[in-house]
Chain A
Amino acid sequence: RKEVEQDPGPFNVPEGATVAFNCTYSNSASQSFFWYRQDCRKEPKLLMSVYSSGNEDGRFTAQLNRASQYISLLIRDSKLSDSATYLCVVKKKADKLIFGTGTRLQVFP
């Protein structure tokens, strides 16, 4: 079983839609959680951290459920520019980040 699992998608949604991605992790000792965004044939970039209390950054909301060991990312009012692959990332212990395989989002007009 992979340490971090994501639905690969693709999720095809119209502009303005709300879309949610989930990610599960297997190591209950995982310390920190993040979402990265990766555009086609580009490098990954940090989108946002995920806090236990949940956090929001504009149209993006991240949630963490430690009991069920899953992380979610909600995107409201999707834009064409949101089309990308979203990587779930878990920090296990010092200095090690474990990346999920990513969920691909395609927003269409």
Chain B
Amino acid sequence: NAGVTQTPKFRVLKTGQSMTLLCAQDMNHEYMYWYRQDPGMGLRLIHYSVGEGTTAKGEVPDGYNVSRLKKQNFLLGLESAAPSQTSVYFCASSYAGANTGELFFGEGSRLTVL
């Protein structure tokens, strides 16, 4: 029962470095999302995808890029990391449109940018 798997779980970067977070889901979900969670801010949507080959901006997309080359994978990239991107990143997936309100989340990736 893998569900949604995120790698890596933890990462420390220096300002200006780049990295990619990988999200993989084995539930054949069409929709995938990347959120960040910060104290006092709640979960904020960075980018999302409604199907293979498609991506769209969420609430806080600046400084991030995404790709959905395969249905099961959704990659989040930081081209030039900044301390403001220190956060916990959650990937999620859902059946079409999250009509039931149920998003399936990965365990999170804790990123620290020094």
Interface residues of A (CB under 8 A from B): 2, 4, 8, 32-34, 41-46, 49, 87, 89, 91, 94-97, 99-102
Contacts and interface: CB of A to CB of B under 8 A. Distances in A.
Contacts of B108: 41-43
Contacts of A100: 42
A94 B42 contact: no
Contacts of A89: 101
Contacts, number: 51
25 contacts: A2-B42, A4-B42, A8-B40, A32-B99, A32-B101, A33-B101, A41-B108, A43-B90, A43-B106, A44-B90, A44-B105, A46-B102, A87-B42, A87-B43, A95-B50, A96-B58, A97-B98, A97-B103, A99-B42, A99-B43, A99-B44, A100-B42, A101-B40, A101-B42, A102-B42
Given A87-B42, A102-B42, A97 B90 contact: no
B106 A49 contact: no
Given A43-B105, A45-B105, A101-B41, A91 B98 contact: yes
B107 interface: yes
A94 B35 CA distance: 17
A94 B40 CA distance: 26
Contacts of B43: 44, 87, 99
Contacts of B42: 2, 4, 87, 99-102
Interface in B14-39: 31, 35
B100 interface: yes
Contacts of B63: none
Given A44-B43, A44-B90, A94 B107 contact: no
Interface string B79-110: 00000000000100000011111110111100
B101 A95 contact: no
